[in-house]
Protein backbone atom coordinates (compact mmCIF):
# COMPACT_ATOMS: atom_id res chain seq x y z
CA UNK A 1 0.00 0.00 0.00
CA UNK A 2 1.37 3.43 -0.88
CA UNK A 3 1.57 6.39 1.44
CA UNK A 4 -0.75 8.44 -0.78
CA UNK A 5 -3.52 5.88 -0.19
CA UNK A 6 -3.18 6.45 3.51
CA UNK A 7 -3.22 10.22 3.11
CA UNK A 8 -6.41 10.13 1.08
CA UNK A 9 -7.88 7.63 3.52
CA UNK A 10 -7.21 9.71 6.59
CA UNK A 11 -8.17 13.04 5.04
CA UNK A 12 -11.22 11.79 3.16
CA UNK A 13 -13.57 13.01 5.88
CA UNK A 14 -12.98 16.64 4.98
CA UNK A 15 -14.01 17.56 1.45
CA UNK A 16 -14.80 21.24 2.00
CA UNK A 17 -11.74 23.44 2.72
CA UNK A 18 -11.30 23.90 6.45
CA UNK A 19 -10.08 27.49 6.04
CA UNK A 20 -11.19 30.14 3.54
CA UNK A 21 -9.45 33.44 2.82
CA UNK A 22 -11.64 36.45 2.10
CA UNK A 23 -10.56 40.03 1.61
CA UNK A 24 -13.18 42.46 2.91
CA UNK A 25 -11.49 45.65 1.67
CA UNK A 26 -7.95 46.89 1.02
CA UNK A 27 -7.08 46.88 4.72
CA UNK A 28 -9.25 44.11 6.14
CA UNK A 29 -9.18 40.39 5.49
CA UNK A 30 -10.57 37.34 7.19
CA UNK A 31 -9.68 33.67 7.50
CA UNK A 32 -12.82 31.67 8.19
CA UNK A 33 -12.27 28.26 9.71
CA UNK A 34 -14.77 25.52 9.33
CA UNK A 35 -15.24 22.04 10.80
CA UNK A 36 -12.43 19.75 11.84
CA UNK A 37 -9.13 21.64 11.47
CA UNK A 38 -6.34 19.10 11.74
CA UNK A 39 -2.94 18.19 10.41
CA UNK A 40 -4.45 16.36 7.42
CA UNK A 41 -7.22 18.81 6.46
CA UNK A 42 -4.80 21.75 6.56
CA UNK A 43 -2.57 20.24 3.84
CA UNK A 44 -2.54 22.60 0.86
CA UNK A 45 -5.05 25.02 2.47
CA UNK A 46 -2.36 26.39 4.78
CA UNK A 47 -0.09 27.23 1.83
CA UNK A 48 -2.91 28.85 -0.19
CA UNK A 49 -3.92 31.10 2.69
CA UNK A 50 -0.34 32.08 3.55
CA UNK A 51 0.25 32.96 -0.12
CA UNK A 52 -2.91 35.11 -0.18
CA UNK A 53 -1.85 36.74 3.07
CA UNK A 54 1.65 37.55 1.77
CA UNK A 55 0.28 39.01 -1.48
CA UNK A 56 -2.24 41.11 0.49
CA UNK A 57 0.37 42.38 2.96
CA UNK A 58 2.62 43.50 0.09
CA UNK A 59 -0.08 45.80 -1.34
CA UNK A 60 0.22 49.26 0.18
CA UNK A 61 1.02 50.06 3.78
CA UNK A 62 1.01 46.85 5.78
CA UNK A 63 0.76 48.71 9.13
CA UNK A 64 -2.86 49.69 8.48
CA UNK A 65 -3.95 46.14 7.64
CA UNK A 66 -5.92 43.89 9.94
CA UNK A 67 -6.55 40.15 9.68
CA UNK A 68 -9.34 38.39 11.57
CA UNK A 69 -8.99 34.72 12.38
CA UNK A 70 -12.59 33.57 12.68
CA UNK A 71 -12.78 30.26 14.55
CA UNK A 72 -16.46 30.44 15.46
CA UNK A 73 -17.40 27.58 13.11
CA UNK A 74 -14.68 25.21 14.26
CA UNK A 75 -15.87 21.87 15.60
CA UNK A 76 -12.39 20.64 16.45
CA UNK A 77 -8.97 22.25 16.31
CA UNK A 78 -5.80 20.28 16.98
CA UNK A 79 -2.19 21.29 17.50
CA UNK A 80 -1.76 21.81 13.75
CA UNK A 81 -4.71 24.25 13.78
CA UNK A 82 -3.01 26.19 16.55
CA UNK A 83 0.29 26.19 14.64
CA UNK A 84 -1.63 27.48 11.60
CA UNK A 85 -3.01 30.35 13.72
CA UNK A 86 0.48 31.10 15.04
CA UNK A 87 1.91 31.08 11.49
CA UNK A 88 -0.65 33.67 10.34
CA UNK A 89 -0.12 35.80 13.44
CA UNK A 90 3.63 35.82 12.99
CA UNK A 91 3.34 36.98 9.37
CA UNK A 92 1.04 39.81 10.51
CA UNK A 93 3.17 40.97 13.43
CA UNK A 94 6.50 40.91 11.54
CA UNK A 95 5.05 43.29 8.94
CA UNK A 96 3.51 45.50 11.66
CA UNK A 97 -0.09 44.57 10.78
CA UNK A 98 -2.88 43.70 13.19
CA UNK A 99 -4.19 40.26 14.02
CA UNK A 100 -7.40 39.35 15.82
CA UNK A 101 -8.85 36.02 16.84
CA UNK A 102 -12.61 35.69 16.88
CA UNK A 103 -14.80 32.99 18.35
CA UNK A 104 -12.02 30.63 19.46
CA UNK A 105 -13.31 28.23 22.10
CA UNK A 106 -11.86 29.04 25.52
CA UNK A 107 -10.59 25.49 25.89
CA UNK A 108 -7.86 26.12 23.28
CA UNK A 109 -6.51 29.13 25.14
CA UNK A 110 -4.31 27.29 27.67
CA UNK A 111 -2.65 25.51 24.77
CA UNK A 112 -2.23 28.74 22.82
CA UNK A 113 -0.74 30.42 25.87
CA UNK A 114 1.90 27.67 26.06
CA UNK A 115 3.52 29.18 22.96
CA UNK A 116 3.79 32.76 24.26
CA UNK A 117 5.78 34.61 23.00
CA UNK A 118 5.40 33.07 19.57
CA UNK A 119 8.61 34.72 18.31
CA UNK A 120 10.46 31.80 20.01
CA UNK A 121 8.92 29.47 17.46
CA UNK A 122 10.57 31.38 14.60
CA UNK A 123 14.28 31.24 15.29
CA UNK A 124 16.64 33.16 13.08
CA UNK A 125 18.43 30.52 11.01
CA UNK A 126 22.06 30.27 12.00
CA UNK A 127 24.40 29.97 9.04
CA UNK A 128 27.41 27.91 9.98
CA UNK A 129 30.63 29.62 8.86
CA UNK A 130 32.41 27.62 6.16
CA UNK A 131 35.73 26.15 7.17
CA UNK A 132 38.71 27.40 5.21
CA UNK A 133 40.92 24.96 3.31
CA UNK A 134 43.76 25.46 5.80
CA UNK A 135 41.51 24.74 8.80
CA UNK A 136 39.93 21.64 7.28
CA UNK A 137 43.34 20.30 6.19
CA UNK A 138 44.67 20.95 9.68
CA UNK A 139 41.71 19.19 11.25
CA UNK A 140 42.08 16.21 8.91
CA UNK A 141 45.79 16.00 9.81
CA UNK A 142 44.94 16.23 13.52
CA UNK A 143 42.41 13.40 13.11
CA UNK A 144 45.06 11.26 11.40
CA UNK A 145 47.54 11.95 14.20
CA UNK A 146 44.89 11.20 16.86
CA UNK A 147 44.04 7.97 15.08
CA UNK A 148 47.71 6.94 14.91
CA UNK A 149 48.21 7.80 18.59
CA UNK A 150 45.08 5.79 19.45
CA UNK A 151 46.36 2.83 17.46
CA UNK A 152 49.83 2.94 19.08
CA UNK A 153 48.38 3.29 22.57
CA UNK A 154 45.91 0.47 21.94
CA UNK A 155 48.71 -1.75 20.58
CA UNK A 156 50.76 -1.09 23.70
CA UNK A 157 47.89 -1.99 26.00
CA UNK A 158 47.06 -5.06 23.94
CA UNK A 159 50.63 -6.38 23.98
CA UNK A 160 50.79 -5.84 27.75
CA UNK A 161 47.46 -7.60 28.29
CA UNK A 162 48.38 -10.48 25.95
CA UNK A 163 51.56 -10.94 28.00
CA UNK A 164 49.38 -10.91 31.14
CA UNK A 165 47.16 -13.61 29.61
CA UNK A 166 50.21 -15.85 29.11
CA UNK A 167 51.24 -15.26 32.73
CA UNK A 168 47.77 -15.74 34.19
CA UNK A 169 45.98 -18.04 31.77
CA UNK A 170 43.37 -18.91 34.39
CA UNK A 171 42.09 -15.37 34.39
CA UNK A 172 41.44 -15.17 30.66
CA UNK A 173 37.72 -15.30 29.80
CA UNK A 174 37.90 -18.60 27.94
CA UNK A 175 34.11 -18.74 27.46
CA UNK A 176 34.25 -15.57 25.39
CA UNK A 177 37.29 -16.93 23.59
CA UNK A 178 35.41 -20.10 22.60
CA UNK A 179 32.36 -18.12 21.44
CA UNK A 180 34.49 -15.78 19.35
CA UNK A 181 36.49 -18.72 17.93
CA UNK A 182 33.32 -20.57 16.95
CA UNK A 183 31.79 -17.47 15.37
CA UNK A 184 34.94 -16.38 13.56
CA UNK A 185 36.23 -19.87 12.79
CA UNK A 186 33.77 -22.74 12.45
CA UNK A 187 30.97 -20.50 11.20
CA UNK A 188 33.33 -19.11 8.55
CA UNK A 189 34.27 -22.53 7.11
CA UNK A 190 31.58 -22.65 4.37
CA UNK A 191 32.32 -19.19 2.95
CA UNK A 192 36.10 -19.66 3.20
CA UNK A 193 35.75 -23.05 1.49
CA UNK A 194 33.60 -21.67 -1.34
CA UNK A 195 35.82 -18.68 -2.04
CA UNK A 196 39.01 -20.75 -1.78
CA UNK A 197 37.61 -23.35 -4.19
CA UNK A 198 36.72 -20.70 -6.78
CA UNK A 199 40.02 -18.87 -6.39
CA UNK A 200 41.84 -22.19 -7.00
CA UNK A 201 39.83 -22.77 -10.18
CA UNK A 202 40.30 -19.22 -11.48
CA UNK A 203 44.02 -19.12 -10.69
CA UNK A 204 44.67 -22.46 -12.45
CA UNK A 205 42.62 -21.57 -15.52
CA UNK A 206 44.29 -18.19 -15.93
CA UNK A 207 47.73 -19.69 -15.50
CA UNK A 208 46.95 -22.63 -17.82
CA UNK A 209 45.73 -20.37 -20.63
CA UNK A 210 49.05 -18.50 -20.60
CA UNK A 211 51.29 -21.52 -20.05
CA UNK A 212 49.59 -23.55 -22.78
CA UNK A 213 51.07 -21.25 -25.40
CA UNK A 214 54.55 -22.32 -24.30
CA UNK A 215 53.64 -25.98 -23.78
CA UNK A 216 54.24 -25.58 -20.05
CA UNK A 217 50.86 -26.64 -18.70
CA UNK A 218 52.54 -29.14 -16.40
CA UNK A 219 54.11 -26.23 -14.47
CA UNK A 220 50.73 -24.75 -13.61
CA UNK A 221 50.33 -27.12 -10.66
CA UNK A 222 53.52 -26.13 -8.84
CA UNK A 223 52.95 -22.46 -9.67
CA UNK A 224 49.35 -22.41 -8.42
CA UNK A 225 50.18 -24.41 -5.30
CA UNK A 226 53.06 -22.11 -4.39
CA UNK A 227 50.92 -19.00 -5.00
CA UNK A 228 48.08 -20.41 -2.93
CA UNK A 229 50.20 -21.51 0.02
CA UNK A 230 52.38 -18.41 0.26
CA UNK A 231 49.96 -15.67 -0.76
CA UNK A 232 46.39 -16.39 -1.85
CA UNK A 233 45.35 -18.66 1.04
CA UNK A 234 46.34 -16.27 3.85
CA UNK A 235 45.09 -13.23 1.92
CA UNK A 236 41.63 -14.63 1.06
CA UNK A 237 41.14 -15.87 4.60
CA UNK A 238 42.23 -12.57 6.12
CA UNK A 239 39.95 -10.53 3.86
CA UNK A 240 37.00 -12.79 4.66
CA UNK A 241 37.81 -12.54 8.37
CA UNK A 242 37.94 -8.75 8.02
CA UNK A 243 34.52 -8.71 6.38
CA UNK A 244 32.93 -11.15 8.81
CA UNK A 245 34.62 -11.06 12.16
CA UNK A 246 36.31 -7.68 12.32
CA UNK A 247 32.97 -6.03 11.52
CA UNK A 248 31.17 -8.30 13.99
CA UNK A 249 33.65 -7.48 16.79
CA UNK A 250 33.33 -3.76 16.04
CA UNK A 251 29.53 -3.90 16.03
CA UNK A 252 29.37 -5.99 19.20
CA UNK A 253 31.83 -3.89 21.22
CA UNK A 254 30.42 -0.73 19.59
CA UNK A 255 26.92 -1.55 20.84
CA UNK A 256 28.38 -2.24 24.28
CA UNK A 257 30.07 1.16 24.16
CA UNK A 258 26.80 2.86 23.17
CA UNK A 259 24.98 1.09 26.02
CA UNK A 260 27.66 2.21 28.51
CA UNK A 261 28.66 -1.43 29.14
CA UNK A 262 32.30 -0.57 28.48
CA UNK A 263 32.01 2.35 30.95
CA UNK A 264 30.58 -0.11 33.50
CA UNK A 265 33.71 -2.30 33.10
CA UNK A 266 36.03 0.70 33.57
CA UNK A 267 34.14 2.04 36.59
CA UNK A 268 34.20 -1.47 38.07
CA UNK A 269 37.99 -1.41 37.84
CA UNK A 270 38.22 -3.91 34.96
CA UNK A 271 40.31 -3.32 31.85
CA UNK A 272 38.04 -3.44 28.78
CA UNK A 273 41.03 -4.58 26.73
CA UNK A 274 41.67 -7.52 29.05
CA UNK A 275 37.98 -8.31 29.33
CA UNK A 276 36.77 -7.80 25.76
CA UNK A 277 39.74 -7.58 23.41
CA UNK A 278 42.11 -10.28 24.67
CA UNK A 279 39.66 -13.21 24.22
CA UNK A 280 38.78 -12.03 20.70
CA UNK A 281 42.39 -11.47 19.65
CA UNK A 282 43.35 -14.89 21.02
CA UNK A 283 40.46 -16.35 18.99
CA UNK A 284 41.78 -14.51 15.91
CA UNK A 285 45.28 -15.92 16.53
CA UNK A 286 43.83 -19.44 16.74
CA UNK A 287 41.36 -19.45 13.87
CA UNK A 288 43.24 -17.45 11.20
CA UNK A 289 45.99 -20.08 10.57
CA UNK A 290 43.49 -22.97 10.80
CA UNK A 291 41.16 -21.32 8.30
CA UNK A 292 44.15 -20.53 6.09
CA UNK A 293 45.28 -24.16 6.12
CA UNK A 294 41.71 -25.17 5.22
CA UNK A 295 41.65 -22.60 2.39
CA UNK A 296 45.04 -23.87 1.13
CA UNK A 297 43.79 -27.47 0.99
CA UNK A 298 40.49 -26.59 -0.74
CA UNK A 299 42.22 -24.28 -3.23
CA UNK A 300 44.88 -26.83 -4.14
CA UNK A 301 42.22 -29.50 -4.52
CA UNK A 302 40.15 -27.28 -6.85
CA UNK A 303 43.32 -26.46 -8.79
CA UNK A 304 43.98 -30.23 -9.16
CA UNK A 305 40.44 -30.74 -10.48
CA UNK A 306 40.88 -27.90 -12.96
CA UNK A 307 44.15 -29.30 -14.26
CA UNK A 308 42.42 -32.62 -14.98
CA UNK A 309 40.69 -30.75 -17.83
CA UNK A 310 44.15 -30.04 -19.28
CA UNK A 311 45.09 -33.71 -18.96
CA UNK A 312 47.29 -33.40 -15.88
CA UNK A 313 46.50 -36.31 -13.57
CA UNK A 314 46.42 -35.91 -9.79
CA UNK A 315 49.73 -37.77 -9.36
CA UNK A 316 51.61 -35.47 -11.73
CA UNK A 317 50.09 -32.37 -10.07
CA UNK A 318 51.04 -33.75 -6.65
CA UNK A 319 54.63 -34.56 -7.63
CA UNK A 320 55.02 -31.16 -9.29
CA UNK A 321 53.65 -29.48 -6.19
CA UNK A 322 56.06 -31.34 -3.91
CA UNK A 323 58.99 -30.18 -6.01
CA UNK A 324 57.94 -26.52 -5.69
CA UNK A 325 56.35 -26.23 -2.27
CA UNK A 326 58.21 -27.12 0.87
CA UNK A 327 57.29 -26.91 4.54
CA UNK A 328 58.90 -23.45 4.81
CA UNK A 329 56.44 -22.06 2.29
CA UNK A 330 53.51 -23.44 4.25
CA UNK A 331 55.03 -22.14 7.50
CA UNK A 332 55.59 -18.71 6.00
CA UNK A 333 51.94 -18.56 4.88
CA UNK A 334 50.67 -19.66 8.27
CA UNK A 335 52.82 -17.18 10.20
CA UNK A 336 51.51 -14.47 7.95
CA UNK A 337 47.96 -15.70 8.51
CA UNK A 338 48.49 -15.54 12.29
CA UNK A 339 49.63 -11.91 11.98
CA UNK A 340 46.58 -11.19 9.83
CA UNK A 341 44.41 -12.78 12.53
CA UNK A 342 45.87 -10.48 15.18
CA UNK A 343 45.45 -7.41 12.97
CA UNK A 344 41.88 -8.18 11.92
CA UNK A 345 40.55 -9.03 15.38
CA UNK A 346 42.44 -6.23 17.17
CA UNK A 347 41.35 -3.58 14.68
CA UNK A 348 37.73 -4.74 14.94
CA UNK A 349 37.88 -4.42 18.73
CA UNK A 350 39.67 -1.04 18.56
CA UNK A 351 37.06 0.44 16.21
CA UNK A 352 34.32 -0.94 18.44
CA UNK A 353 35.80 0.80 21.46
CA UNK A 354 36.12 4.05 19.54
CA UNK A 355 32.38 4.06 18.77
CA UNK A 356 30.57 7.35 19.35
CA UNK A 357 26.92 7.61 20.32
CA UNK A 358 23.83 6.15 18.70
CA UNK A 359 22.99 3.42 16.23
CA UNK A 360 24.65 5.21 13.30
CA UNK A 361 27.97 5.25 15.18
CA UNK A 362 27.93 1.43 15.38
CA UNK A 363 27.53 1.25 11.60
CA UNK A 364 30.40 3.69 11.12
CA UNK A 365 32.59 1.62 13.45
CA UNK A 366 31.84 -1.60 11.57
CA UNK A 367 32.71 0.09 8.26
CA UNK A 368 35.91 1.57 9.68
CA UNK A 369 36.85 -1.83 11.09
CA UNK A 370 36.61 -3.51 7.67
CA UNK A 371 38.42 -0.71 5.83
CA UNK A 372 41.21 -0.43 8.41
CA UNK A 373 41.60 -4.22 8.56
CA UNK A 374 41.99 -4.54 4.80
CA UNK A 375 44.46 -1.64 4.62
CA UNK A 376 46.52 -3.13 7.46
CA UNK A 377 46.38 -6.61 5.89
CA UNK A 378 47.92 -5.21 2.71
CA UNK A 379 50.53 -3.24 4.71
CA UNK A 380 51.50 -6.33 6.76
CA UNK A 381 51.60 -8.40 3.57
CA UNK A 382 53.94 -5.85 1.96
CA UNK A 383 56.26 -5.81 4.97
CA UNK A 384 56.24 -9.61 5.04
CA UNK A 385 57.04 -9.80 1.32
CA UNK A 386 60.03 -7.49 1.85
CA UNK A 387 61.29 -9.53 4.81
CA UNK A 388 60.88 -12.77 2.81
CA UNK A 389 62.82 -11.28 -0.09
CA UNK A 390 65.65 -10.17 2.19
CA UNK A 391 65.84 -13.32 4.32
CA UNK A 392 64.77 -15.89 1.77
CA UNK A 393 62.15 -17.30 4.19
Partner 1 sequence: MDMPNKPSIQFPNKSPFAIDVQNLTVGYGSNVLMQNLNFSVNYGEIFVILGGSGCGKSSLLKNLFGLYQPLAGDVLIEGQNITSAVGAQRQKIMTSFGVMYQQGALFGSMNLLDNVTLFMQEYTQLTQTQMDLLARCKLDLVGLLPYESYMPSEISGGMQKRAAIARAMALDPKILFLDEPSAGLDPITSADLDSTIQDLSKNLGITFVIVSHELASIYAIADKVIMLDKDAKGIIAEGDPKVLRDTSKDPRVHQFFNRIMSKDAA
Question: Helices in 12-132 by DSSP H: which ranges?
Answer: 45-58, 79-94, 109-113
Question: Helices in the chain by DSSP H: which ranges?
Answer: 3-11, 45-58, 79-94, 109-113, 133-167, 174-184, 189-212, 220-227, 233-241, 247-258, 261-267, 272, 278-309, 314-324, 327-353, 359-391
Site string for partner 1, 121-140 (x = CB under 8 A): xxx-----------------
* Binding of residue 5 to partner 1 (CB under 8 A): yes
Minimal distance in Å, beta carbon 243 to partner 1?
24
Cβ distance to partner 1 smaller for residue 86 or 371: 86
Binder among 60, 356, 375, 387 for partner 1 (CB under 8 A): 356
CA distances (Å), origin 141, targets 145, 148, 267, 364, 373: 6, 11, 32, 20, 21
Site string for partner 1, 289-328 (x = CB under 8 A): ----------------------------------------
Contact of 305 with 199, CB cutoff 8 Å: no
| Separation between Cα atoms, residue 181 and residue 242, nearest integer Å | 14
Cβ distance to partner 1 smaller for residue 183 or 257: 257
* Binding of residue 101 to partner 1 (CB under 8 A): no
Judged by DSSP in three states, 17 sits in coil
Contact of 18 with 80, CB cutoff 8 Å: no
- Pick the stretch among 9-17, 142-150, 171-179, 313-321 that binds partner 1 (CB under 8 A): 9-17
Minimal distance in Å, beta carbon 20 to partner 1?
18
Cβ distance to partner 1 smaller for residue 43 or 222: 43
Binder among 211, 335, 361, 371 for partner 1 (CB under 8 A): 361
Contact of 312 with 220, CB cutoff 8 Å: yes
Cβ distance to partner 1 smaller for residue 89 or 161: 89
Cβ distance to partner 1 smaller for residue 47 or 137: 47
* Binding of residue 391 to partner 1 (CB under 8 A): no
- Pick the stretch among 21-29, 94-102, 112-120, 314-322 that binds partner 1 (CB under 8 A): 112-120
| Separation between Cα atoms, residue 370 and residue 260, nearest integer Å | 23
* Binding of residue 44 to partner 1 (CB under 8 A): yes
* Binding of residue 15 to partner 1 (CB under 8 A): no
Strand-pairing partners, residue 30, are 22, 68
Judged by DSSP in three states, 27 sits in coil
Show Cβ contacts of residue 88 under 8 Å, excluding neighbours closer than 6 positions: 31, 49, 50, 53, 67, 69, 99
| Separation between Cα atoms, residue 311 and residue 208, nearest integer Å | 11
Minimal distance in Å, beta carbon 200 to partner 1?
42
Binder among 360, 389, 390, 392 for partner 1 (CB under 8 A): 360
Minimal distance in Å, beta carbon 30 to partner 1?
21
* Binding of residue 267 to partner 1 (CB under 8 A): no
Q: At what angle do helices 220-227 and 278-309 cross, to 10 degrees?
A: 170
Q: What is the CA radius of gyration of the chain?
A: 35
- Pick the stretch among 8-16, 131-139, 282-290, 320-328 that binds partner 1 (CB under 8 A): 8-16
Exposed (0-12), middle (13-18) or buried (19+): which is 38, by Cβ within 10 Å? buried
Binder among 120, 132, 213, 391 for partner 1 (CB under 8 A): 120
Minimal distance in Å, beta carbon 361 to partner 1?
8
Q: Hey, which residues between 56 and 95 contact partner 1 (CB under 8 A)? A: 75-76, 78-80, 82-84, 86-87
Residues that bind partner 1 (CB under 8 A): 1, 3, 5-7, 9-10, 13, 36, 38-40, 42-44, 46-47, 75-76, 78-80, 82-84, 86-87, 107-108, 110-111, 114-115, 120-123, 356-361
Amino acid sequence: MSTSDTISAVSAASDAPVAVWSQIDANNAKVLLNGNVNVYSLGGVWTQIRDSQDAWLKQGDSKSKSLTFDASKVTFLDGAGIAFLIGLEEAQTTSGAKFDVLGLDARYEPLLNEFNPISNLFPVPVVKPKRSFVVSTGMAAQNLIDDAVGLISFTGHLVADLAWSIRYPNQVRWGDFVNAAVQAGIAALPIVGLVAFLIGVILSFQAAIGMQQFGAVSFVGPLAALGIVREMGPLITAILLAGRSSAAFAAEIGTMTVNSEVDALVSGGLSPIRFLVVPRVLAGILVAPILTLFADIVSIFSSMLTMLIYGIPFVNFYNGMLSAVDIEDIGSGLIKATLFGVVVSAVGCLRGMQTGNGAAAVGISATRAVVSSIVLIVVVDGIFAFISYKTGF
